[in-house]
Amino acid sequence: MEEFMLIFRHEDGTKVASPEQIQVWMKQTMDWIGGIAAQNKFVEGNGLPFADSRVVHHNNVVTNGPFGEIKETIGGYIIVKAESVEEAVEFAKGSPVLQGDGNTVEVRKVDRH
Amino acid sequence: MQQGLFSCMAQAELIPHLFRTEFRKITAVLCKVFGIEHLEVAEDIASETFLSAMETWTYKGIPENPTAWLYLVAKNKAKNYFQRNHLFAAKIASQVKYTASGSEEPDIDLSDKNITDSQLQMIFAICHPGISKEAQIGLALRILCGFGITEIANAFLTNKEIINKRLFRAKEKLREEKVQMEFPGKTEIKKRLDTVLTTLYLLFNEGYYSESQDVVLREDFCLEAMRLTYLLLENPSTNTPEVNALFALMCFHASRFEARRNENGEIILYQDQDESRWNETLIAKGAWFLHEASGGEKLSRYHLEATIAYWNTQKQDTPEKWESILQLYNRLLQICYSPVAALNRTYALAKANGKEVAIAEAEKLQLTDNHYYFVLLGELYTDIDNTRAVTHLQKALLLAKTEADKRTIQKKMARLEAV
């Protein structure tokens, strides 16, 4: 069994969702993760909120947040157990992040050695 | 004559009762004096004390204060043992912490405080990470709860020899690991408490879910697990949110003791229970301790399971109930996977999001050696595809082990075939 990180990329991190939308999205995310955990394939996960984010550049130049210069932002990740990258991709397909046009889930194998 | 008969009857009930409550106390206190590596000596002295009681009380009648009598006799037997066994005495004397100064005999303190302290230390000693869970539970039942070997064997559906062997190995392990009778230090207590709570949780489950037919004994296991958990709550350094959550969980489960069996002692499933037989006092107690548990930062599996158990005391189906249960299972599975939780989560998913969604998720679980998995699939396919529902129930029937489970499945099949 390998471990894969599913990285949620949002096309436009500056978009603000309504509280109702956030609630729906939270439930969908929890149900999605719960479904993976019910198969004993969930390892860990974290949301990466946009507040209190900085980018440290070459020569230690610090800018506010990852927004503006780059269009894409990372909204969070989870790590799953899977037999193959194909199985991890099947998990990723269920992510509610993909309901947003232009959003992506990047699937990367975790090197534990 | 009549009085003699009464005292005879009283004695017949009194000694087993005292054995259950006092054996473990005497053993714990003696162990603290001798060191847990001499657990057998402590057990033997405690057993001999009860043997003396049986012999003496039969002829002389029950003493005015039976417990004090037992303590005095246990003390004397321990002192005699100490004097008779010079070798043992020499080995122990250097280690005994509670030797009264100037005397070579150990001071055996059977005060309430020392009994409680010794029992707490005994809990930590037995629930040592170096000892297998199975052995911990066996030792806990014997040493902390005072159950007989036959009773333990009955609960585990096995024979006395196997239990004796298991206990023997566990005691050897206590010696090998050089386990001490002491309260763990502040930094260590958190880690050690985890093991203790797991064992108490398993001890409770052993009673609650055991397939043994002896219902009274099974409930005794649960009550003992609750008593030991309560012992932790009474001590400030172990009165943590997690312990409160575990105690709340036990209260909620225990509230259904009465309702979960019929007059023949057979298990009545949750959905068929008469909720008027649920114990309101225990439900209220559970709610109180769950509230007490909310102080910490960490949301443990016991918090999640206790909250699920709380929702299960609300029999009325509401969207809020099932949505809450679903989200609690979603979180529980992330920190602590178990097939049972996965199946229950899928059932809650069906109630909250609909059967079609749940069927798709259930098919992914592939718990094909678990009869409950096929019971769940049967349940989910009912009214959607009854032929499939029956096929799944047939598979469940083949896998079911107990007669009670088989009967439940057959009833479900009969209901489907009648449609």
Query: Does B327 contact A at CB distance below 8 Å?
Result: yes
Residue B94 pLDDT: 61
Residues of A in contact with B342 (CB under 8 A): 38-40
Q: How far is A33 from chain B (nearest CA, A)?
A: 7
Query: Does B346 contact A at CB distance below 8 Å?
Result: yes
Assigned domain for A16 exists: no
Q: How many domains does chain A have?
A: 1
Residue B387: pLDDT band by 50, 70, 90 thresholds? very high
Least confident of B70-79, B259-268, B289-298, B358-367: B259-268
Q: How far is B299 from chain A (nearest CA, A)?
A: 15
Least confident of A89-98, B268-277, B288-297: B268-277
Residue B105: pLDDT band by 50, 70, 90 thresholds? low
Q: In chain B, whose CA is at the least distance from the CA of A29?
A: B330
Q: How many Cβ contacts (< 8 angstroms) between chains A and B?
A: 45
Q: What is the pLDDT of residues A13-47, one digit of tens each?
A: 666 778 898 899 999 999 999 999 999 999 999 98
Over chain B, what is the mean pLDDT?
88
Query: Does B10 contact A at CB distance below 8 Å?
Result: no
Whether residue B91 has pLDDT greater than 70: no
Beta strands in chain A (DSSP E): 2-10, 42-47, 54-56, 62-64, 73-82, 104-109
Q: How far is B312 from chain A (nearest CA, A)?
A: 20
Count the Cβ atoms, other than its own, within 10 Å of residue B89: 16
Whether residue A75 has pLDDT greater than 80: yes
Residue A70: pLDDT band by 50, 70, 90 thresholds? low
Report the C-alpha gap between B122 and B118 in whole angstroms.
6
Query: Does B331 contact A at CB distance below 8 Å?
Result: yes
Residues of B in contact with A94 (CB under 8 A): none
Q: Find the mean pLDDT for residues A71-75.
A: 81
Residue B6: pLDDT band by 50, 70, 90 thresholds? very low
ipTM associated with this complex: 0.90
Range of the domain at A7: 2-11+21-71+80-109
Q: What is the pLDDT of residues B183-239, one digit of tens each?
A: 888 888 888 898 899 999 988 998 888 777 777 778 888 999 999 999 999 999 999
Report the C-alpha gap between B166 and B180 in whole angstroms.
20
Assigned domain for A58 exists: yes
Q: Which of B330, B364, B365 sits opposite A30 (nearest CB)?
A: B330
Assigned domain for A90 exists: yes
Gyration radius of chain A's alpha carbons:
15
Q: Where are chain B's structural domains?
A: 1-109, 111-239, 367-419
Q: Which of B330, B334, B364 sits opposite A31 (nearest CB)?
A: B330
Report the C-alpha gap between B251 and B286 in whole angstroms.
5
Q: Which residues are within 8 A (CB) of A95 and not within 5 positions of it... i.e. 6 or more apart?
A: A6, A8, A29, A32, A105
Q: What is the pLDDT of residues B108-143, one digit of tens each?
A: 889 999 999 999 999 999 998 888 888 888 899 899
8 Å CB contact of A34 and B326 = yes
Helices (H), B270-385: 280-292, 301-312, 319-335, 339-353, 355-365, 371-381
Residue with more model confidence, A69 or B168: B168
Of A23, A25, A26, A27, which to mutate for an interface test with B (greatest number of B Cβ within 10 Å)?
A27
Residue B315 pLDDT: 83
8 Å CB contact of A40 and B342 = yes
Q: What is the pLDDT of residues B315-366, one digit of tens each?
A: 888 999 999 999 999 999 999 999 999 999 999 999 999 999 999 999 999 9
Residue A88 pLDDT: 97
What's the CATH number where A102 sits? Answer: 3.30.70.1060
Assigned domain for A31 exists: yes
Residues 22 through 61 of chain A touching chain B, CB cutoff 8 Å: 27, 30-31, 33-35, 37-40, 42, 45
- What is the percent of chain B where pLDDT is above 90? 53
Phi and psi, residue A109, nearest 5° = -75, 135
Residue A89: pLDDT band by 50, 70, 90 thresholds? very high
Query: Does B325 contact A at CB distance below 8 Å?
Result: no
What is B188-257 written as a DSSP string? HHHHHHHHHHHHHHHHHHHHHH---S-HHHHHHHHHHHHHHHHHHHHSGGG--HHHHHHHHHHHHHHTTT
8 Å CB contact of B364 and A39 = yes
Contacts of B30-34 with C-beta under 8 Å, sequence gap 24+, read B30/B74, B30/B78, B30/B108, B31/B118, B31/B122, B31/B125, B31/B181, B32/B98, B32/B114, B32/B117, B32/B118, B32/B121, B32/B122, B32/B181, B33/B78, B33/B92, B33/B96, B33/B98, B33/B106, B33/B107, B33/B108, B34/B92, B34/B96, B34/B106
